[in-house]
Amino acid sequence: MIRSLSRRNLLTSLAAIPAVALLAACSDSGEKAEAQDVKPAAPEPAKPAAPAAAAAPEAQGTVDMAALLKPGALPDMQLGKDDAKVTIVEYASMTCPHCAHFAETTFPELKTKYIDTGKARYILREFPFDPSAEAGFMLARCSKDNYFPMVDVLFRQQANWVGVNNTKDALLQIAKLAGFTQESFEACLTDQKLLDDVRSVQKRGADEFKVDSTPSFFINGKTYKGAMSIAEMSAIIDPLL
């Protein structure tokens, strides 16, 4: 869902987004929910440790990897080697509790076990469902080389800035800890081209690759939806190595 808010209105709106204005889940039905009927989703409870021989989740479709990896409106943010045997592309939203759950419970081991060892490369793409998520991704992009650390902080601090009475001030406090000043913070969130590019990444994901919920993963061309455990991801990745 690509909104037509001006950059100024988006920045202003961050100061007045109450908890009830957030989506009920990490998906977009295409319908405009009434604010009073919508509550923020709670993260899924942590799954018990799965056995080493966990069955791989069933793929929910396929995409052409060459098309998926073509350059988009923004350069891909990547961890890992270009020549890794496995490529993981994740579409996420900064305000999605399921994305935060994956980032906190699965991603660290995924990085240690596969990305840092050169077995897999990981690409994160922006798929914001609301102005707060757009702002979070813009701040990560403005962090330049600290993109992934900023994403990590925003996911870990999600409860402190998503659904609070003044999202703008909450994000500013987090951004200052990451080295932003008031001026650089506002300059980032008033960058119309950056906002347009973030929205273009989302629109391309929806139009070309049928992304309609987050997190959505493409692993060597196969589609998987939902926050997976490390055992589930290992069951997908190991046969590809």
| Structure confidence by residue, pLDDT tens digits, 137-148 | 999 999 989 999
pLDDT over 90 for what percent of the chain? 75
Q: What was the pLDDT predicted at 13?
A: 59
Q: Give the CA angle between residues 107, 109, 115 to the nearest 5°.
A: 80
Q: Where are the alpha helices (DSSP H) in the chain?
A: 7-13, 65-68, 97-105, 107-110, 131-142, 147-156, 158-161, 167-177, 182-189, 192-209, 230-237
The pLDDT of residue 229 is 95
- The count of residues in the chain is 241
Distance of alpha carbon 232 from the chain centroid: 19
- What pLDDT does 36 receive? 31
The tokens describing 8, both together, are 């100024």
Q: What is the mean pLDDT of residues 46-62?
A: 71
Give mean pLDDT, residues 44-57.
Answer: 60
Hey, which residues does 225 pair with through a beta bridge?
216
Based on C-alpha coordinates, what's the Rg of the chain?
Answer: 17
Predicted confidence at residue 14, as pLDDT, reads: 65
The per-residue pLDDT for range 199-236, each reduced to its tens digit, is 999 999 999 999 999 999 999 999 999 999 999 999 99
Question: 224 phi and psi, to 5 degrees?
Answer: -135, 135
Buried b (16+ CB within 10 A) or exposed e, 22-45: bbebbbbeeeeeeeeeeebbebee
Q: Per-residue confidence at 4, pLDDT binned at 50, 70, 90?
A: very low
Tokens of 221: 């061309």
Using DSSP's 3-state secondary structure scheme, residue 235 falls into helix
